[in-house]
Chains A and B, each alone.
Chain A
Amino acid sequence: MSVTSIFFQTLIGGIGIGSLYALVALGYSMTFRSMGLVNFAQGSIYMVGTYFGIIWYQGMVMNLHVPYAVAFLIGLLCNALLGIVLERIFRPLAKLDLMLMLLATIGLGFILDNLFTIIFGATGFAVDSPLPNTPWNIFGVRVLPQMALLIGVSFALMIGNQLFLSKTKWGRAMRASAMDFEIARAMGIPTNRMNALALSIGCMMSAAAGILAAPIVYVSPSMGVAVGLKGFAAAILGGLGSVPGAIAGGLVYGVLEALSAGYISSTWTQAIAYIVMVVVLMVKPSGIVGEITVEKV
């Protein structure tokens, strides 16, 4: 392998895992921009969404083996409904202190994680890939079809989400509601419904991430723990509340992990990622993209 193909090989792995972080980070950002709430149960929502979709594909419900694309849509739909339920639960939380929010949402994550452990067992299972398992060889760089699908669909979803927010009437109403809750309400925008929509979109993105990644990773009730924390880091890194920021943050975090594992030291990969993130926030507290300004000292 040449030096360049090694670099691109490492990079593609980072982009793959990074787009997963990005979709989860979108969940954080959609919740934060609409309700001003950091939902630390996002990792659990990612896990729940994965189960909602994958159990149909794997034939765990009445031995039905529905096609992957259908399972994907079922998972998204179920998680969208979850988002609507969550909006109702979160409504009284949004007014509370940050730490209370943190605690309540962590409590929620706790419930989901342990409920799914009780229902499906702690061990988890591997998921058959819907696409061929032999990688494509592109100029010496090997790309797994499922990885390409993960990256492709993630980007399509992210772009679609951005277009929806900026171009459609609903999207603009959501943005208005996110910017100023009171004025939006005075203008007749049903803000609670807009928040529910925002949360649903966030939950759908997380489900999409989980179901797309399932055949590459492994499905278990604890799968959301690390992804949840890294998704939060990615969202902050990009600028919490910013949609393009979440995407950029996720990709940067994923690539950072892969490159530091490949080129610096795999022992210290996590520590390096944490420290880089701290340094970025020190230098530019509003994050890489940062459209919403941070409460700066």
Chain B
Amino acid sequence: MRNKVLYVLLAVGLLLAACAPQATPTAAPPTQAPAATVAPATAAPASTTTQACANPVKIAIIAAMSGTNASLGNWMTQGVTLAVEQKNKAGGVQGCQVQIITYDDQADPTTSVGLAQKAATQDKVMAVWATSNSNTALADIPIFEQYKIPQLTNGTFVNLTQQGSAYIFRVNPAGPAYETPVVNYLVKQGKTKFAIIGDNSAYGVGETKYQTDALKADNLTPLDTESYGINDKDFTGQLTKIMQTQPEVLLLASSEVAAGLIAKQARQLGFTGVIAGGSGLASPVFISTAGSAAEGAYFTSPYPGNDANDATKAFDAAYKARWGVDAEVHGANTYDGTNMLLMAMENAHPLTPDNVAAEMHKICNYQGLQGTFCYNQNGEGINSTFLGVVKGGQLTYLPTTP
């Protein structure tokens, strides 16, 4: 008898599942002020609309909006929203307003794949941002390849563009572009003794490999390579071991906080050599965590900083006006990517996801905040980074040598 109730519950559950709620379109991330919600009828006066625009064009953002990785999703949403709002103010894409739908995957691959399905089949988006985490981005690739929807990512993992998909586009340089310049620069300075420490996540393992490869290209091998778990806070064991090999350079393959802690602990243990690494060190978080230990650390970044040129200054001003904080690298690369995406949408006739992807592939010599983009068939658009050094507690960039 009890079973009857359960069958009813099950049936109700299935019915509920069958009528899953529509995604909630939000034109702005949950954090900030009221969104300039896109209302096609009001924003674009009927007289100027050249074609009937029944539905706004939809762009999805799939990223971690809550939980421990929320910062990444937040930065992505801010960069994308800024570019879309500017475009909408200028009349939208082919006369249509652009709408952003955000999905929170909490950096969990299983959730992310489900949301990718939702964006593709239920909300029928024109293009999608997915995601800042290389692992979840990788998990989503088969979905968007299947539905032929362009997928933009700012993950650094090199494999992202080697999955054979024609629908993945990276809007920032891949991993090796961060590690090779800094290694080559230090080798040119006459350094030969390197040691590497990196975390055991996909990011850390990848960067460790790129650093090792870069050294190998210069006929060097690291004296020691150590790893740690992403939640570790004490690196004495690893660093003590590394220091026995007396390296001149300590290469970090770490995210911002861990990089800061490692730099600090290495100096406290008496390490006097050079500390260097990739984008993990190109961050105010690294500097504030490491304190004085950050001084003199070499880093690479795809974004030359807010004061680099007129374009970055204008971007920073707009970003600050909209979000109340200074722009940083993730905001910059998602802004670049969204601008290119909107351009591709403008050129796509008729406006279908497949055509947008084709137009994305045609983009070349696009001048973005990070430099000049030129997409190849794999979806790799830019390969240059800026080398810098921490001076006086500030990220300062070295003059670019071609």
Binding site for B on A (CB under 8 A): 1, 6, 9-10, 12-14, 16-17, 114, 117, 121-126, 128-129, 133, 135, 142, 144, 213, 216-218, 220-222, 225-226, 254, 257-263, 266-267, 269-270
Q: Which of A114, A122, A267 is in CB contact (< 8 Å) with B200? A: A267
Q: Please state if A266 and B285 are interface contacts (CB–CB under 8 Å).
A: no
A123 to B231, alpha carbons, bound, how many Å? Answer: 14
Residues of B within 8 A of A259 (CB): 237
Residues of A within 8 A of B244 (CB): 1, 6
Q: Which of B232, B236, B261 is in CB contact (< 8 Å) with A12? A: B236
Q: Please state if B70 and A117 are interface contacts (CB–CB under 8 Å).
A: yes
Residues of B within 8 A of A266 (CB): 226-228, 237-238, 241
Q: Please state if B231 and A261 are interface contacts (CB–CB under 8 Å).
A: no
A258 to B241, alpha carbons, bound, how many Å? Answer: 11
Name the CB-closest residue of B to A122: B70
Would you give the shortest CB distance from A252 to chain B, in whole angstroms?
A: 15
Residues of A within 8 A of B228 (CB): 261, 266, 269
Binds A, one of B125-133, B273-281, B287-295, B313-321: B287-295
A216 to B240, alpha carbons, bound, how many Å? Answer: 17
Q: Please state if B234 and A144 are interface contacts (CB–CB under 8 Å).
A: no
Would you give the shortest CB distance from A52 to chain B, in whole angstroms?
A: 20
Q: Please state if B241 and A217 are interface contacts (CB–CB under 8 Å).
A: no
Name the CB-closest residue of B to A213: B233
Q: Which of B226, B241, B268, B288 is in CB contact (< 8 Å) with A125? A: B288
Given contacts A14-B236, A218-B261, 15 further A-B contacts (CB under 8 A): A14-B234, A114-B66, A117-B70, A122-B68, A126-B260, A126-B288, A133-B268, A135-B270, A218-B260, A221-B68, A258-B234, A258-B237, A259-B237, A266-B226, A266-B237
Residues of A within 8 A of B290 (CB): 126
Would you give the shortest CB distance from B81 to chain A, in whole angstroms?
A: 18
What 8 pairs between A and B have smallest CB-CB spacing?
A: A13-B236, A261-B237, A226-B231, A262-B237, A122-B70, A222-B68, A17-B234, A126-B289
Name the CB-closest residue of B to A222: B68
B229 contacts the other chain (CB 8 A): yes
Name the CB-closest residue of A to B226: A266
A129 to B267, alpha carbons, bound, how many Å? Answer: 15
B62 contacts the other chain (CB 8 A): no
Q: Mark B123-149, 1 if CB is under 8 A from A, else 0.
A: 000000000000000000000000000
A14 to B232, alpha carbons, bound, how many Å? Answer: 12
Name the CB-closest residue of B to A224: B231
Which chain B residues (353-373) contact chain A, with CB distance < 8 Å?
Answer: none
Q: Please state if B229 and A269 are interface contacts (CB–CB under 8 Å).
A: yes
Q: Please state if A258 and B236 are interface contacts (CB–CB under 8 Å).
A: yes
B186 contacts the other chain (CB 8 A): no
Q: Please state if B240 and A122 are interface contacts (CB–CB under 8 Å).
A: no
Name the CB-closest residue of A to B70: A122
Enumerate 15 A-B pairs (CB-CB under 8 Å) in ascending A order: A9-B236, A14-B237, A17-B233, A121-B71, A218-B257, A218-B289, A221-B68, A222-B68, A225-B231, A226-B229, A226-B231, A260-B237, A261-B226, A261-B237, A262-B241
Residues of A within 8 A of B70 (CB): 117, 121-122
Q: Mark B223-257, 1 if CB is under 8 A from A, else 0.
A: 00011110111111110110110000000000001
Q: Please state if B257 and A220 are interface contacts (CB–CB under 8 Å).
A: yes
Q: Please state if A123 and B237 are interface contacts (CB–CB under 8 Å).
A: no
A146 to B72, alpha carbons, bound, how many Å? Answer: 32
Q: Please state if B234 and A117 are interface contacts (CB–CB under 8 Å).
A: no
Q: Which of A1, A126, A261 is in CB contact (< 8 Å) with B238? A: A261
Would you give the shortest CB distance from A46 to chain B, in whole angstroms?
A: 12
Would you give the shortest CB distance from B396 to chain A, in whole angstroms?
A: 20
Residues of B within 8 A of A129 (CB): 291
A217 to B67, alpha carbons, bound, how many Å? Answer: 20
* Given A117-B68, A135-B268, residue A123 in contact with residue B236 (CB < 8 A): no
A269 to B70, alpha carbons, bound, how many Å? Answer: 28
B26 contacts the other chain (CB 8 A): no
A267 to B240, alpha carbons, bound, how many Å? Answer: 15
Residues of B within 8 A of A222 (CB): 68
Q: Please state if A270 and B229 are interface contacts (CB–CB under 8 Å).
A: yes
Would you give the shortest CB distance from B364 to chain A, in whole angstroms?
A: 36
Query: Which of A213, A260, A267 is packed against the most chain B CB atoms within 10 Å?
Result: A267
Residues of A within 8 A of B11 (CB): none
Name the CB-closest residue of B to A262: B237
Residues of A within 8 A of B234 (CB): 13-14, 16-17, 254, 257-258
Residues of B within 8 A of A262 (CB): 236-238, 240-241
A220 to B261, alpha carbons, bound, how many Å? Answer: 14
Would you give the shortest CB distance from B369 to chain A, in whole angstroms?
A: 22
Residues of A within 8 A of B229 (CB): 226, 269-270
Would you give the shortest CB distance from B36 to chain A, in whole angstroms?
A: 23
Which chain B residues (301-334) contact chain A, with CB distance < 8 Å?
Answer: none
Q: Please state if A10 and B227 are interface contacts (CB–CB under 8 Å).
A: no
A217 to B228, alpha carbons, bound, how many Å? Answer: 15
* Given A124-B257, A133-B292, residue A216 in contact with residue B236 (CB < 8 A): no
Would you give the shortest CB distance from A259 to chain B, in whole angstroms?
A: 7
A174 to B241, alpha carbons, bound, how many Å? Answer: 46
Q: Please state if B233 and A217 are interface contacts (CB–CB under 8 Å).
A: yes
Q: Please state if A9 and B269 are interface contacts (CB–CB under 8 Å).
A: yes
Residues of B within 8 A of A117 (CB): 66-68, 70
Would you give the shortest CB distance from A148 to chain B, in whole angstroms?
A: 12
B69 contacts the other chain (CB 8 A): yes
Residues of B within 8 A of A133 (CB): 268, 291-292
Residues of B within 8 A of A221 (CB): 68
Residues of A within 8 A of B270 (CB): 135, 142
Residues of A within 8 A of B232 (CB): 226
Q: Please state if B233 and A216 are interface contacts (CB–CB under 8 Å).
A: yes
Residues of B within 8 A of A263 (CB): 237, 241
Query: Which of A17, A216, A218 is packed against the most chain B CB atoms within 10 Å?
Result: A218
Query: Which of A129, A133, A259, A263 is packed against the most chain B CB atoms within 10 Å?
Result: A133
Name the CB-closest residue of B to A6: B240
Name the CB-closest residue of B to A143: B268
Which chain B residues (196-232) contact chain A, with CB distance < 8 Å?
Answer: 200, 226-229, 231-232
